[in-house]
Amino acid sequence: MALRATSGPAPDRTSAKVGERVEFRAKVENTATAEESVALFVEELKEGALGKPVAFAFTLDPPAQAVPAKSRRALAFAWTAALPEGKPAFTFRGRLVLRRTNDGALVGSEPLNLYVSSA
């Protein structure tokens, strides 16, 4: 595999208030002879003990990052904490997933457990 996460992705905190900046960090290794690009996604987002699926869009900045050929790079994706409609607080549980942008191949994945409350 040309791209692989050597650590993370993981949030820089376990809780946040609405409007705070949360960074998701990872280290990615590219063994290919060409530059590759990766993007971070939040997948399998669930609510509560019963695992009810939640529809919520995470908008990350930047949407993707390049990893130069034959190198390792520390990456950070930022998100401004927000809540699903009608919720005063919410624990986001799911998976943080790094994927190669050109074909969606899995680069790395870690559990997400992030509590967000209103200000």
pLDDT digits (tens, 9 = 90+) for 26-54: 999 999 999 999 999 999 998 766 778 88
What pLDDT is attached to residue 1? Answer: 58
Task: Name the fold adopted by 3-112.
Answer: Immunoglobulin-like (2.60.40)
With beta carbons less than 8 A apart as the criterion, state whether 56 and 41 touch.
no
> What is the structure's pLDDT at 49?
65
How far CA 41 is from CA of 16, 34, 95, 97, 107, in Å, comes to 19, 23, 8, 5, 11
- Give the predicted TM-score (pTM) of the model: 0.91
For range 81-96, the mean pLDDT:
93
Mean pLDDT of 92-112: 95
In Å, what is the CA distance from 1 to each residue of 21, 29, 44, 119?
32, 10, 24, 43
State the average pLDDT for the chain: 93
What's 12's DSSP letter? Answer: S
32-51 per-residue burial string, b: 16 or more CB within 10 A, e: under 16: eeeebebbbbbeebbbeeee
